Homo-oligomer: A and B are copies of this chain.
């Protein structure tokens, strides 16, 4: 059955490179100073964990709007750390499991990590791990208790660990008391006009004259949505123009781009 199938994808030990790489399907491009600053600070925590004697457990939360690049950032830190044990815990690999089975799986990852000298665990999309919905609100208290204990429990003597959490529901985690359980929290922002321009330039699908107005129009959009928007618009009004545009033979029709942008923002505007 499917649960069995899922099981197989999850190796018990070691850095799961495939999982980490899937978190940054559009690669990592320069998208402004604020993203870069967070990355650098997080790499200092990696260093601290490597050398620390007094505090074997350091925890860090990346919070920000949906699609702002939190998971890609966390995965990148994990990859760049070169730690022997790097693991991402995400709701994707636990679909349909009961609360207690999810807890057991989460605890298992920590127990495995405790055997490694140095380890990084990414708790991706914590609100999803907690099965959170704003109506009620409802969430799994079993899992939230487990996380709160794990975020405080020290690894055994001689083992050091960095835990990186990501969430787009910082307010909810705050009200649970989970935010306070992290040593430090960073806000991963949407793109401002300058950031967006950088990303659009790296994509190289707009005419030079259009790029500023395009960047202005997508001001405050998260990076993941920007990638989706560009790809939708690249089909053209009649379809079929995508290959020409990505290969550079043709430039994006800026009016069609604005039309598609209108479709996307209308409901929420």
Binding site for B on A (CB under 8 A): 1-2, 5, 22, 25-26, 41, 43-45, 47-48, 51-52, 54-56, 58, 66, 91-92, 95-96, 100, 103-104, 107-108, 111, 128, 131, 133-135, 137-139, 141-142, 144-146, 148-150, 152-154, 170, 174-177, 179-180, 183-187, 227-228, 231-232, 235, 239-240, 242-243, 263-264, 266-268
Contact = CB atoms under 8 A, between A and B. Distances in A.
Given A149-B95, A235-B47, A179 B52 contact: no
B54 A227 contact: yes
Contact of A231 (B41, B55, B228): B55
Contacts of A174: 267
29 contacts: A2-B111, A5-B111, A25-B55, A44-B235, A47-B235, A47-B240, A48-B242, A51-B235, A52-B231, A52-B242, A58-B228, A58-B232, A91-B145, A95-B107, A95-B153, A96-B103, A131-B141, A131-B145, A133-B144, A133-B145, A133-B176, A133-B177, A134-B175, A135-B139, A135-B175, A179-B268, A184-B263, A184-B264, A185-B267
A96 B92 contact: no
A149 B137 CA distance: 18
B134 A228 contact: no
Interface secondary structure of A, over-half rule: helix
Contacts of A235: 44, 47-48, 51
A232 B58 CA distance: 9
A245 to B, nearest CB: 11
Number of chain copies forming the complex: 6
Contact of A183 (B146, B177, B186, B228): B228
Quick one: which of A22, A91, A95, A103 has the most chain B CB within 10 A? A95
Contacts of A187: 267
A232 B44 contact: yes
A104 B98 CA distance: 12
Nearest to A45: B232
A153 B111 contact: no
